[in-house]
Amino acid sequence: MSKTHTNETMAEMEKAWLVGILFNETRQSLYSPAEAKDDVVTHLNELEALLETLEVKSAGRTVAAVKKPSAALLLGSGKTDEIIEQAKEAEADLIVFDENLSPTQQRNWERASGLKVIDRQEVIINIFADRARTKAASLQVQLASCQYHLPRLAGAWQHLSRQRGGSYGTKGEGEKQIELDKRLLLKKIAKLKEELDEVKKQRGTMRKLRSGKKLFTCAIAGYTNAGKSTLLNSLTGSDLDANNRLFDTLDPATRNLRLTGGKEIIITDTVGFIRKLPHQLVEAFKSTLEETLIADLIILLLDASSSEVKNHYDASMDVLKEIGADKNKKLIVFNKVDLCNDDISLSMLRRDFPGSVFISAESGENLMQLEKEIEKAASGDDSGVYLLIPPSKYELIQLIRKTGIIVSEEYTEEGALIEAAVPGYILPQLDQYSIEKPE
């Protein structure tokens, strides 16, 4: 089987040579040549940060222009030799491409260089494997890893076939080993899918229990390291781990939140997004990302202090579109405003994203405003009612307080006079207590 890189293996590879690809003007038509190169450099900076989470340092980098991608190496042979020479002179242990490599391209690069060669997909999969804490997350990462490595089995044992001659119609040792490995990997993929189906059923049951309470649901989504877990902690008083590192949260964490007006909602922290998120991971984490898909409101959280904040918005929207959640109601929230030293940048964000909220989840700045916006969204379809609730039915007041907003309440001998905004689904329970509002 082709070598799967454990975190220990990655950590041993202390230095990496990074390769970014500047495609021809057809694929970079949205940019001027200078902007296109700047974009590639920005992506390489992010790749370097990803590698640092695996304790792999950058030994240097190359931005290679490609007019026509080569099926064998992606780059031309001359540029390939140049990069290999640069990597070896820098004593790099591996070469990392910011673009996806085909299995053939990866094998050819390894043969030509004698170094380990990986792409951005494999880096992110390794980070997810390092961050997986629960059984569900571990299963999802294993599935993504198996699906990534399955097409890379071919050629892993070709050295055995070359060592032995074979007559026509017979299979060499390498081919036999590849077939065996493929069957084992396919069997493992099938088993992982079965186990994940069980996880999905369990999560579905939990969602039904939550939906049975008829509470408004809100999902915090956005680019990795935007502060989603910190925001959930600040809003709900939770104590989730909220470290300043990429992909710290892989499992959704759900908490109840009572808003200042008294309404109770359900709020969930979800896995972070990133540019070029491997399709295998999106597929594997769909049961997790479904928390975003079914939410009544998505809080799209972005790091206002990042110079890449608009690109992070675009990347987040791409992932939401891939899972079918791009049409959901969204509230754009810019976090980490306390780290912004540039008022002009904040002004431009306010101009480009009207109706957005600017907060610091860490310091608590503007969290009250955020709660008001969530409450407004949660009450958007509510109906205004005026009620006289008898003492024997005072438990309905708690239902109103939990699901709606009480505007005023007054207690008389006859019962409680309540003016409130309530969701439509509880109106049948309240109709018989409805009265005309006094002038």
Mean pLDDT is lowest, of 27-41, 283-297, 370-384, 394-408, for 27-41
Can you tell me the distance from the alpha carbon of 400 to that of 362, in angstroms, rounded to the nearest whole number?
32
Tracing tokens 């899972």 back to the chain, one arrives at 323
The mean pLDDT value of the chain amounts to: 82
Residue 175 has pLDDT above 70, yes or no: no
Query: Given 3.40.50.300, 3.40.190.10, 3.40.50.720, 1.10.230.10, which CATH number is that of 215-378?
Result: 3.40.50.300
Mean pLDDT is lowest, of 95-99, 198-202, 214-218, for 198-202
pLDDT of res. 156: 53
Q: Are 414 and 390 a contacting pair, CB within 8 Å?
A: yes
Residue 6 has pLDDT above 50, yes or no: no
Rounded to whole angstroms, what are the CA distances from 223 to 120, 136, 227, 249?
Answer: 17, 21, 9, 12
206 — pLDDT class (breaks 50, 70, 90): low
Residue 117 has pLDDT above 90, yes or no: yes
Identity of the highest mean pLDDT range in 65-69, 93-97, 142-146, 377-381? 93-97
What mean pLDDT is predicted for residues 56-60? 94
Of how many residues is the chain composed?
439
Pairing of strands 330-335, 357-358: parallel
3 — pLDDT class (breaks 50, 70, 90): very low
237 — pLDDT class (breaks 50, 70, 90): confident
Express each pLDDT in 246-293 by its tens digit: 565 566 678 889 888 778 888 988 877 888 777 777 776 666 676 677
What is the residue-wise DSSP string for 385-402? EEEEE-GGGTHHHHHHHH
Amino acid letter, 227 = G
Domains 7-131 and 215-378 share a fold: yes
Report which DSSP code applies to 337: G
Instruction: State CA 243 to chain mean position distance.
Output: 16
β strands within 79-119, DSSP E: 94-97, 116-119
Domain ranges of the chain: 7-131, 135-197, 215-378, 383-433
Q: Are 274 and 155 a contacting pair, CB within 8 Å?
A: no
16 — pLDDT class (breaks 50, 70, 90): very high
Tokens representing 359 are 């907060």
Cβ neighbourhood burial of 310 (10 Å; 0-12, 13-18, 19+): middle
Residue 32 has pLDDT above 60, yes or no: no
Burial pattern 411-421, b for ≥16 Cβ within 10 A else e, equals eeeebbbbebb
Rounded to whole angstroms, what are the CA distances from 386 to 108, 421, 423, 424, 431?
Answer: 74, 9, 14, 14, 10
Residues 6+ apart with CB under 8 A from 97: 19, 21, 74, 117, 118, 119, 120
Instruction: State CA 57 to chain mean position distance.
Output: 24
CB atoms under 10 Å from CB of 403, counted, come to: 23
* pLDDT above 90 as % of the chain: 36
Mean pLDDT is lowest, of 36-50, 94-108, 160-174, 279-293, for 160-174
pLDDT of res. 333: 96
What mean pLDDT is predicted for residues 157-161? 42
At the top level of CATH, the class of 7-131 is alpha beta
Tokens representing 286 are 């769909």
198 — pLDDT class (breaks 50, 70, 90): confident
More confident residue, 200 or 305: 305
Tracing tokens 């877990």 back to the chain, one arrives at 229
Express each pLDDT in 381-428 by its tens digit: 778 899 999 999 998 988 888 778 888 899 998 999 999 888 877 888
Express each pLDDT in 181-190 by its tens digit: 888 989 999 9
pLDDT of res. 295: 85
Q: Which of 355, 270, 357 is nearest to 316 (CA)?
A: 270
Express each pLDDT in 75-110 by its tens digit: 999 999 999 999 999 999 999 999 989 999 999 999
What mean pLDDT is predicted for residues 36-54? 87
